[in-house]
Amino acid sequence: MVILIDTNIFLEYLLSQERADECLNAIKTIIDSDINAVISSFSLHSIEVIMLRNRLNTKLREFLSAISDIPHIKVYNTTPEEDVEILDLMDDIKLDFDDTVQAYLAKKLKAVVLTLDKHFDNIAGIKVNKPWEII
């Protein structure tokens, strides 16, 4: 099984939001269980932009170092050709680009999406887990 970790899972924890503990516990479960996980490079860059806007440079540096050290979490870099496919999929599923990246990768990698969002719940061919479902 592969889990695609949505941007909001990391941001929830990094920004100390309402479900931060549940998101952290889900990430710990993935690490402790040797489950293969993926984060898109788009998600990673989105996290970087948001953290920098919030002047959380030190916390961002720690996060990036931690992600680099976790062997079971890989970063998936889309190609320009895949980005065109994502744009095409956007028209079909009516989500914004960042959510469509997640949907595209979930389908391509046959991954379960770990997310707090409800956007993916009704998209055919995508299985969704909430953080409290994998703890």
The Cα–Cα gap between 65 and 61 comes to 6
Beta bridge partners of 113: 4, 128
**Which residue has better confidence, 135 or 111?**
111
pLDDT, average across residues 22-46: 94
Chain centroid, CA 77 distance in Å:
13
pLDDT at 1: 85
pLDDT at 23: 97
Nearest alpha carbon to residue 5 among 105, 77, 90, 96 = 105
pLDDT, average across residues 64-80: 94
In this structure, is the dihedral angle defined by the CA atoms of residues 13, 17, 20 and 22, taken in order, positive or negative?
negative
Domain limits of the chain?
2-134
For residue 135, pLDDT over 80 is answered with no
Beta bridge partners of 38: 4, 74
Question: Whole-prediction pTM value?
Answer: 0.93
Helix (H) or strand (E) run with residue 99 in it:
helix 97-109
- Fold classification of 2-134 (topology level): Rossmann fold (3.40.50)
pLDDT tens digit sequence for 87-133: 999 999 999 999 999 999 999 999 999 999 998 888 989 999 999 99
Angle, CA of 117, 46 and 85, to the nearest 5°: 75
For residue 71, pLDDT over 80 is answered with yes
pLDDT at 26: 95
pLDDT tens digit sequence for 35-64: 999 999 999 999 999 999 999 999 999 999
